[in-house]
Chain A
Amino acid sequence: MKTIFRIVLLTVSAVFTLVSFTSEPNTTSLKCMIQMVNYTGEGAYVVISLIKPEGEYNQTLYVQGKDSEWYSDITEWWKFYGKRRLDIDAISGATIAGGERTVSIIKIPKDRIDAGYKIRFETAVEDQEYYKKDVEFELTSETLASKVKGKGFIRYVRMLPQ
């Protein structure tokens, strides 16, 4: 009886250890800088998401802007996020104004790289436009360290693997 109990205990702890160790190596940390254009007005909301090869949302990576009342202004993403409203406190930061830059660390599951997944930067500013694909590019080993120009409030995005 005792031995069975020990085995079970050992197995359980082994499984836990395995899980907790495997979760980390499965993601890649990227240093990501968003440089805004010189617009006037309120701080911009920026949402960084992973997009499936089919074009659907897969995961929210980062949210600039902590006032959830404005989230619905980022309409496309809201359709995805608004349904479930997972806790995104850990991956959200303050809004950034025109001309400013922000640097954050985002974590991307390794299996999404070179797998047809895209990274999307959506932007919206109070009383101004909303850009669904301010910046969007495919996640490949090459693009992980790159500089991509934006179409809306973002001047460019730079990424650097940590």
Chain B
Amino acid sequence: MIISLWRYSHLLLAISSAIFLLIASVTGIILALEPMSDVIKPYAIDNIEDITISETITALQKEYDEIIEITVEENDFVIASVVTKEGNDERIYVNPRTGEKLGVPERKSGVFKFATNLHRSLFLKGIGRFFVGLISLLLIFIVITGILLIGKRQGGILKFFSKVNKEYVNQFYHVVIGRWFFVPIIIIAFTGVYLSLEKFALLPKYEVPHRISAQTEQKKETIASISFPIFKKITLTNVKSIEFPFSDDVEDYFTLELINKELIVHQFSGNILSEQQYPFVKLVSYYSLLLHTGKGNVFWSVVLLVTCVAILFFMYSGFYMTVQRRKGSNLIYNIEDKDASEYIILVGSENGSTYTFANYLRSALLSVGKTVFVAELNAYTTYQEAKHIIAITATYGDGEAPTNAKRFNRLFSTIEPVNRLQFSVVGLGSLAYPEFCKFAEDIDEMFRRHSKFISSLSLEKINNKSTDDFKNWIQKWGVSVGVSLDTKTVIEDENWKRDVFKIIDKTYINTDNTFLLRLKPRDTSIDFRSGDLLAIRPEENMVERLYSIARIDGDVILSVKKHDLGVCSTYLSKVGKGDIIKAAIKHNVNFYFPSNTKDAILIANGTGIAPFLGMMKNKNRSTRVTLFWGVRTKKSIDIYNDFINFSLMKEGTRHIAYSRENNIYVQDLIRNETDSVINVLNRGGVVMICGSNDMLKGVISVLEKAVKNQLNVSLNTFIENEQIKIDCY
């Protein structure tokens, strides 16, 4: 299982409530506007906390025949039900200071009515209300699982608000926005559930039981209501409503509904006959309604609105992340059985992206006819035919094992491998985390301590899922285990952006079947350097071809070998000066010419010279460059003369092998010059190799021997510290 239980729950809850949540959020956005639209109405009373009940009654009595009820709304609107001097009843907004009529309560506008209905019952009456309540409940669980996930990701609840590692926009903001908005969301969800429970009468019943004893009812004295001490004391800010006595019968009272209690007041004496505090359930209902609707508080209604927008974003980004993970984890399918495979790739992944990397390696191995078996680290077991084991793993949270690698530790200590195995570990992670690739380090250590495992390459840590770094590692690893791997066609960057280039120069096809192209990017601000790659896809859905390029005077220079069956090279051989092609620049930072090096040895065969053309042309004067190059004939180099005049290069810095004429290859030239190569490596200089994998193999074997004999270290040391840079295909 790739996704942990919490994440699985988080996702499952989100999926099952998606449609309802979508409706609720969209209508929620509309409804959040209602309290805002109320505020602009001119009925709000300033300083309502200064106006007493008795002032209000005095003012209203002057203007109207009788007062039936006074209601104070959350937004400080005062509504009075009165009988006018003409004998009609009216429900109007009034100014409690003057009794002046301010307006008539309008009917809820159609949009809000529609949105309200959809929001709380989906137009399905009781059933709809039940569903909406249930979805609110699910939302609470979504928030809880979300909080747990953020806690895990950040490496503990205490680090909840520490820096978030950015993998991609949707993931980053899902976390960042999530850890702030969980507060309003949980408030909305909880109050939503509460209001639903109330509607379904599932809450304990509350009644405010007033008991009025017979004695207190006696009519002893008569005071005008405006002189009641209680009416002089209470101001409108505490009042929800005041019901006036229906008649002058002593059994008719004033009923005062305040924020937290209800009072029964004798209509003649002003005595409080009964005072009942509201039970907790009723207060919660009251505040739930306020918090859920934002009534009377513009600031909170803005928060509610933004929260609804945030929920929509969570839905979008959450599903986006899920799709991304699925893409990653669906890639493994093994052709060979575990006991029939020579290469075992073990994956430790929290969200599936590590599988993408495992798959690159797997494809590269399969393309050269190797048998590969991919499994999660938790499935570690014995492998009959295996010779190599490669663990590619992420680290989760605070240096912990990812979900599908949690059992590896225990399995490893109990399972004895059948054969001696060469191992190599790749850690994927982010330098932003303090425990960068910690789990990979742990695994590497475990293999290292085990007598049956031999290290083929030291631990590789890859930052921010860099495919370039991984590709580079594949090459290094291939060299160390003696397999030449083609990574160019295997690793693809899915979101590649193509640019437009104009062909401004093209050479003839020389005796090597090779020609040069000079392209000018239409967008001159494109960032690229010698050593980068140009990806060309002659037809859609085709595997792209990558060419190593040079940058000379802002133009792209590439060297193309025409293969009779090569679709891409045939396509390029047909384009002419002035034509437009679309291609993408891919950065290949591991093959850039170091800016501060004193000595560099460049080794190429055939078209592999391309990046070096730019490097040699643009290098510092103080940098000494020695070139080793293999072509077929003397005539082969003529097409390059526009860029480098090889005949002008200093004696001893130019070694060209003409395979057709002298039957000499690049590795033979190097064999004669091992001392100077060793010297350069020893002094901290770089060796860059570009060209075919066969050439690479030959060169590596020559160098390996030389390094071993003269320096008594492995060539891998130089590959690992990037003194030897490789870009072969």
Q: A residues engaging B (CB < 8 A)?
A: 29, 31, 33, 38, 40-41, 66, 93-94, 99, 101, 103-105, 126-127, 158, 160, 162
Contacts and interface: CB of A to CB of B under 8 A. Distances in A.
A126 B246 contact: no
B125 A127 contact: yes
Nearest to A160: B247
Nearest to B208: A99
A38 B246 contact: no
Tell me what chain B mostly uses at the interface: helix, strand, loop, or mixed: mixed
A41 B199 contact: yes
A93 B91 contact: yes
B246 A158 contact: yes
B442 interface: no
Contact of A160 (B91, B201, B246): B246
Given A41-B201, A105-B87, 15 more contacts: A29-B87, A31-B83, A40-B198, A40-B201, A41-B199, A66-B107, A94-B91, A103-B68, A103-B69, A103-B89, A104-B89, A127-B125, A158-B246, A160-B246, A162-B83
Contacts of B89: 103-105
A99 B257 CA distance: 13
B91 A40 contact: no
B344 to A, nearest CB: 64
A76 B171 CA distance: 60
B125 A103 contact: no
B243 interface: yes
Interface string B50-84: 00000000000000000011000000000001010
Nearest to B247: A160
B126 interface: yes
B704 to A, nearest CB: 85
A66 B247 CA distance: 27
Contacts of A40: 198-199, 201
A60 B591 CA distance: 91
Contacts of A99: 207
A127 B246 contact: no
Nearest to B69: A103
Given A38-B207, A40-B201, A103 B246 contact: yes
B83 A105 contact: yes
A105 B246 contact: no
21 contacts: A29-B87, A31-B83, A31-B247, A38-B207, A40-B199, A40-B201, A41-B201, A66-B107, A93-B91, A99-B207, A103-B68, A103-B69, A103-B81, A103-B89, A105-B83, A105-B87, A105-B88, A126-B125, A127-B126, A158-B246, A162-B83
Contacts of B83: 31, 105, 162
A108 B246 CA distance: 19
Q: Which 10 A-B pairs have the closest CB atoms?
A: A105-B89, A40-B201, A103-B68, A33-B246, A104-B89, A29-B87, A127-B126, A160-B247, A127-B125, A158-B246
A32 to B, nearest CB: 10
A132 to B, nearest CB: 22
Contacts of A101: 243
A29 B126 CA distance: 39
Interface of B: 68-69, 81, 83, 87-89, 91, 107, 125-126, 198-199, 201, 207, 243, 246-247
Contacts of A29: 87
A158 B248 CA distance: 13
Contacts of B69: 103
B87 A162 contact: yes
Nearest to B65: A162
Contacts of A103: 68-69, 81, 89, 246
A9 B521 CA distance: 96
Among A99, A105, A162, find the residue whose CB has the most chain B CB atoms closer than 10 A.
A105
Contacts of B87: 29, 105, 162
Contacts of A41: 199, 201
B246 A31 contact: yes
Nearest to B248: A160
A108 to B, nearest CB: 13
Contacts of A105: 83, 87-89
A93 B201 CA distance: 26
A93 B69 CA distance: 14
Contacts of B247: 31, 158, 160
A160 B107 CA distance: 29
A158 B199 CA distance: 29
A94 to B, nearest CB: 8
Contacts of A33: 246
Contacts of A93: 91
A66 B126 CA distance: 21
Contacts of B91: 93-94
A40 to B, nearest CB: 4
Nearest to B84: A105
Nearest to A39: B201
Contacts of A127: 125-126
Contacts of B199: 40-41
Nearest to A162: B87
A126 B125 CA distance: 8
A33 B88 CA distance: 15
A156 B89 CA distance: 20
Nearest to A29: B87
Contacts of B201: 40-41
A60 B338 CA distance: 86
Contacts of B88: 105
Contacts of B207: 38, 99
Nearest to A104: B89
Contacts of B125: 126-127
Among B69, B207, B247, find the residue whose CB has the most chain A CB atoms closer than 10 A.
B247
A146 B459 CA distance: 95
Contacts of A158: 246-247
Nearest to B201: A40
Contacts of B107: 66
Contacts of B68: 103
Nearest to B88: A105
A152 B243 CA distance: 23
Nearest to B198: A40
B622 to A, nearest CB: 88
Contacts of B198: 40
B364 to A, nearest CB: 66
B499 to A, nearest CB: 60
Contacts of A38: 207
A104 B89 CA distance: 6
A78 to B, nearest CB: 19
A78 B182 CA distance: 49
